[in-house]
Amino acid sequence: MSVMRWLTAAMLAWCLSSPNAVHAQAQQSPTAVVPAASENARTVLARVQPAVIQVKGFFGANSAQAFHGTGFAVRAGGIFVTNYHVVAERVQYPDKYRLEYRTPDGATGPIEVLAVDVRHDLAIIRAKGFAPQPLVFDRTPPPKGARAYAVGYPLDVGLTITEGVSNGQVEDSFEPRIHYSGAINAGMSGGPAMNASGEVIGANVSAYLFQQLVSFLVPVAHIADLAAHVTDAVPETSALQQSVVTQMRAHSSDLLDALKPPFVTQVSAGYALPGKIAPFVNCNAAGAPVSEDPVQMVRISCSAKAGIYVQQGLSSGDIKFEHYVLSTDKLDAWRFGGRLSALSQASGAFGQRRHVAPFACEHRVLALKGFDADLMTCTRGYRKLDGLYDFVIRISSLSGGAGRGFASHLDMYGLEFDAGMAFVRRYLEAMAYLPSEAKR
């Protein structure tokens, strides 16, 4: 819900309403029939509307909002759920931000944060002075193709319902998400998503920008679990912050547990390198089919896509790696080494000074299976997330065979140090040079 997100969303909205789009609509056949809004959408909206609020965040004493999202009643007594990322700034900087709700009728009041679940991007809040009837949950995973609806306050233009299709749980996702083929825009975060009967199947959480209606919901089971365990007592902010740290560490531990060997490797130019090491790790490989360059390169990119939103400008708890495999039949080893050097430099580590400390690095030459490699290991700690570290690892070698070399970039964010280094070791030990495969 950052300013950047707002700007991006605003740009997207502008593009969709640009003169070209209007022109395209004007050129439609006059006999074309625009389908009427779904009667069922009206019914669903009417059913859920009394239990939906807009969650607004304010910086300091400003009356103009800094960000906003949506929430809906999950328990009696004014207990609502929204996304953690909607209230994250309030949790991390309680003396800088305050939260308020606004009902569809225009009533307003303060909000208290009762519990957070950063792994599923959920937060339980209490709206003081507003206690509607909670919505009904449907814990049955929605089948692919089932009608679904999402409600929220997109771009602050008022309460809105969008109609789409549930496509079941996202395949090979580390954290469970429901794939919703319908519009979810900035400001709808934390709003309810319903089946055709108006029962809640999840909470709006995210969408791919500049794609075609690829949106995601947090399954309702996690909402129910979190709501069931929350107490009426308002926790200290420090307790909420510690809860974030604890959950991030649990996420780190679970992620690395799910990445235990034996690792699946991919062989390229004789080097066996870690590939799709878990079902939820997505990999793709690409190279230039025709190139005048004397060095041929295959780039293999893998990502666990397990990152968690912690606060503005900080997503963590993720692992990604890339291999740049080089081969040449034209260059001598000296010049080939020069090319490899350019790919061995560490760059692309992004972080903000308010979240992380600077890196400490060391360089070593290690004996791996069938080859020697230069290893650059850089680590940095988090300021608030005590015990979590980022890792930037660069491995490069051309010692396997003549005209064959690679540079591997392993970037890990928000992991515990020992567990992270243990993963680095597994990663290194999975590498090998296979002379018989060198010409492939």
Partner 1 sequence: MNTETVLVDIIASTGTIRERVTLSDERRSFTIGRSVTADVVLDDPHAAALHAEVAIAADGQTTVRDLGSTNGVMVAGKRHHDRVALPAGSSAFGIGRTHIRVRTQHEALLPEQPDRHVIASVLQHAGPIAAGTAAVCLAQSLYSDWFGAPRDLAANAVMSIGVSAAVAAVWTAAWGLLTRIMLGEWHWLRHAAIFLGAVALYNGINAVLDFATFVLSLSPWTGQHTWLALLALGMGLYFHLINASSLPTRRAAMIATAVFAVLGGAGWWLDTRDTNRNVNLVKSQFRIYPSSWRLAGPESVDSYFRRAPALRAATDRRRDAVLKSDREDDSP
The residue (of 159 and 430) whose beta carbon lies closer to partner 1 is 430
Interacting residues with partner 1 between 397 and 436 (CB under 8 A): 397-399, 405, 417-418, 421, 425, 428-429
Residue 96 contacts partner 1 per CB under 8 A = no
Residue 396 contacts partner 1 per CB under 8 A = yes
Scanning 95-103, 137-145, 257-265, 339-347 for contacts with partner 1 by CB under 8 A, the matching segment is 339-347
Interacting residues with partner 1 between 276 and 335 (CB under 8 A): 292-295, 331, 333-335
The residue (of 121 and 390) whose beta carbon lies closer to partner 1 is 390
Residue 234 contacts partner 1 per CB under 8 A = no
Size of the site for partner 1 (CB under 8 A): 63
- Rounded Cα distance, 310 and 385, in Å: 10
Q: How far is the CB of 415 from partner 1 (least distance, A)?
A: 12
Interacting residues with partner 1 between 366 and 385 (CB under 8 A): 366-368, 371-383
Interacting residues with partner 1 between 342 and 361 (CB under 8 A): 344-347, 349-353, 355-361
The residue (of 218 and 368) whose beta carbon lies closer to partner 1 is 368
Residue 365 contacts partner 1 per CB under 8 A = yes
Residue 94 contacts partner 1 per CB under 8 A = no
The residue (of 196 and 421) whose beta carbon lies closer to partner 1 is 421
Residue 46 contacts partner 1 per CB under 8 A = no
Q: How far is the CB of 366 from partner 1 (least distance, A)?
A: 6
Footprint on this chain of partner 1 (rule: CB under 8 A): 292-295, 331, 333-335, 337-341, 344-347, 349-353, 355-368, 371-383, 389, 392, 394, 396-399, 405, 417-418, 421, 425, 428-429
